[in-house]
């Protein structure tokens, strides 16, 4: 995979002692939508600001289409930036806010008007061009900020938690809009969020950050089903973890503490002390698991959470905590103290090295 935007061994330290960003290397393909995902303080926004030029790396290299960005001031990098707080000029109308970066870059006057109208139409704001930010809703202000970041044909658009201030329904609507715009324009986008759902639904690939380092980079399905370590497994989605051991002389089986011997993927190469991860939705009533070598067990229900489309069952098997997400099971059949017969297919287990 050739890199259009390339980060090589990038380090950022503010005090010379600890690293806010610690040896990050990432390749982003032209036209790709990549999300930097991680908790607060994990280094994702600092990395974004170094790409934009608002922070300088302590060491390492950042290249865009073969150009060393360290040699360019932020305003010469041809990078669009969309902030969480919109950062719109309050004394300018929506149209004037979108026009501003074109004037700063000395676009021809006739082209300025044409570009602004086209971009405002793309984000669905043609009827609101003369309104000031205070006269627009939060979602409309975010659309203006997005149009302003796109109007000058940037090489890359950076979005720093742009939907964090919006309510749930509007946030989901804007996720769809941003992906639509990405498809239509084909522009390279880097999106920062701590929201795993945003990352899973919007991204071509996800870079998971932890304590300033890159914990994993992969497609949403890779990150979800094959996390590189326990941090990624816990941060992205809900998980069951079972402590166990794998004897190298026994292929395809593991001994789980408190549970006993279970079948695992036969191509597993880890041995010794491990954690077996199983997503709650992979634990299902025995008749629904289509695997001749399925692992069957009894789960004693402790509590349930009804999400409408599914029910999260919280309980134990052999005293070991377990969570199962069930679809199509009647809530009245899931009383506390009741016993469920559940199963999971060996292929649904993911083996992680114990650290």
In this predicted structure, what is the pLDDT of residue 179? 94
Positions in the chain short of pLDDT 70: 1-2
Domains of the chain and CATH, by start: 5-232 (3.40.50.300), 238-353 (2.40.50.140)
In this predicted structure, what is the pLDDT of residue 2? 64
In this predicted structure, what is the pLDDT of residue 291? 84
In this predicted structure, what is the pLDDT of residue 126? 95
Reported as a single tens digit per residue, the pLDDT across 113-123 is 999 999 999 99
In this predicted structure, what is the pLDDT of residue 336? 95
The beta-carbon contacts of 43-46 under 8 Å, at least 24 apart in sequence, are 43/12, 43/209, 43/211, 43/212, 43/213, 44/192, 44/207, 44/209, 45/160, 45/161, 45/192, 46/12, 46/20, 46/21
In this predicted structure, what is the pLDDT of residue 147? 95
The length of the chain is 355
Cα 342 to the center of its chain, rounded Å: 31
Q: Are the beta carbons of 227 and 352 closer than 8 angstroms?
A: yes
In this predicted structure, what is the pLDDT of residue 326? 95
In angstroms, rounded to a whole number, what is the distance separating the alpha carbons of residues 209 and 191? 13
* Token code pair at residue 39: 């908790």
Q: Judging by DSSP bridges, how do beta strands 33-37 and 188-193 pair with one another?
A: parallel
In this predicted structure, what is the pLDDT of residue 170? 85
């Amino acid at each position: 995979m050739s890199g259009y935007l390339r980060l090589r061994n990038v380090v950022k330290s503010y005090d010379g002692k600890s690293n806010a960003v610690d040896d990050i290397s990432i390749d982003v393909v032209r036209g790709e939508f990549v999300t930097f995902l991680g908790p607060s303080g994990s280094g994702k926004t600092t990395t974004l600001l170094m790409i934009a030029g608002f922070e300088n790396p302590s060491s390492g290299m950042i290249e865009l289409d073969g150009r060393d960005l360290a040699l360019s001031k932020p305003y010469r990098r041809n990078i669009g930036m969309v902030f969480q707080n919109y950062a719109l000029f309050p004394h300018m109308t929506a149209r004037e806010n979108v026009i501003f970066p074109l004037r700063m870059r000395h676009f021809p006057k006739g082209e300025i008007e044409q570009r602004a109208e086209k971009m405002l139409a793309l984000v669905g704001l043609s009827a609101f061009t003369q309104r000031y930010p205070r006269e627009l809703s939060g979602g409309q202000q975010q659309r203006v900020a997005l149009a302003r970041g796109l109007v000058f044909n940037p090489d890359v658009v950076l979005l720093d938690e742009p939907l964090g201030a919006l309510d749930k329904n509007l946030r989901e609507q804007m996720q769809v809009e941003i992906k639509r715009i990405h498809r239509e324009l084909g522009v390279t986008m880097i999106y920062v969020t701590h929201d795993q759902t945003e990352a899973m639904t919007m991204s071509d690939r996800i870079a998971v950050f932890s304590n300033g380092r890159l914990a994993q980079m992969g497609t949403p399905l890779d990150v979800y089903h094959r996390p590189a370590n326990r941090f990624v497994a816990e941060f992205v989605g809900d998980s069951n973890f079972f402590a166990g051991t794998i004897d190298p002389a026994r292929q395809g089986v593991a001994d789980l503490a408190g549970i006993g011997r279970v079948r695992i993927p036969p191509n597993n190469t880890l041995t010794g002390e491990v954690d077996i991860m199983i997503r709650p939705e992979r634990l299902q009533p025995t008749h629904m698991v289509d695997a001749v070598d399925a692992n069957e067990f009894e789960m004693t229900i402790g509590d349930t959470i009804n999400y409408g489309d599914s029910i999260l069952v919280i309980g134990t098997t052999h005293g070991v905590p377990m969570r199962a997400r069930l679809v199509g099971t009647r809530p009245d059949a899931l009383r506390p103290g009741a016993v469920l017969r559940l199963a999971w297919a060996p292929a649904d287990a993911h083996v992680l090295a114990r650290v």
